[in-house]
Amino acid sequence: MKILLTNDDGIHAPGIAALFTEMSKLGEVFVVAPDRERSASAHAITLMTPLRVKHIEQNEHFAGYAINGMPADCVKVAYWALGIRPDIIISGINLGSNSGINLLYSGTVSAAAEGIFVNVPSFAISLATFTNPDFGPAARFARKLTSLILQNGLPRGTILNVNVPAVPENELTGVQVTQMGQAYYQENYDKRDDPHNHTYYWLTGNKVDVEMDDTVDDRALMNNKISITPIQFDLTNYSFMDQLNKWKFQNDK
* Bond before 93 cis per omega within 30 degrees: yes
* pLDDT of 7 strictly over 90: yes
92 φ, ψ (degrees, to nearest 5): 145, -160
Decide if 248 is inside a domain: no
Decide if 154 is inside a domain: yes
Q: How far is CA 18 from CA 11, 41, 152, in A?
A: 12, 22, 25
pLDDT at 225: 97
* pLDDT of 213 strictly over 90: no
Q: CA–CA separation, 60 vs 46, rounded Å?
A: 31
E strands, 18-86, are 28-34, 53-59, 62-67
Amino acid identity at 34: P
% of the chain with per-residue pLDDT over 70: 97
What is the mean predicted confidence (pLDDT) over 167-190? Answer: 88
Decide if 226 is inside a domain: yes
pLDDT band at 210 (very low <50, low <70, confident <90, very high): confident
Q: For the whole prediction, is pTM greater than 0.85?
A: yes
* pLDDT of 186 strictly over 80: no
Decide if 16 is inside a domain: yes
Number of domain units in the chain: 1
Decide if 246 is inside a domain: no
- pLDDT digit string (tens) for 131-167? 999 999 999 999 999 999 999 999 999 999 999 999 9
Decide if 83 is inside a domain: yes
pLDDT band at 251 (very low <50, low <70, confident <90, very high): low
* Structural domain containing residue 103: 2-182+212-234
Q: How far is CA 151 from CA 81, 95, 105, 148, 227, in A?
A: 28, 28, 30, 5, 20
Decide if 205 is inside a domain: no
CATH number at residue 150: 3.40.1210.10
% of the chain with per-residue pLDDT over 90: 79
Decide if 191 is inside a domain: no
What is the mean predicted confidence (pLDDT) over 108-129? Answer: 96
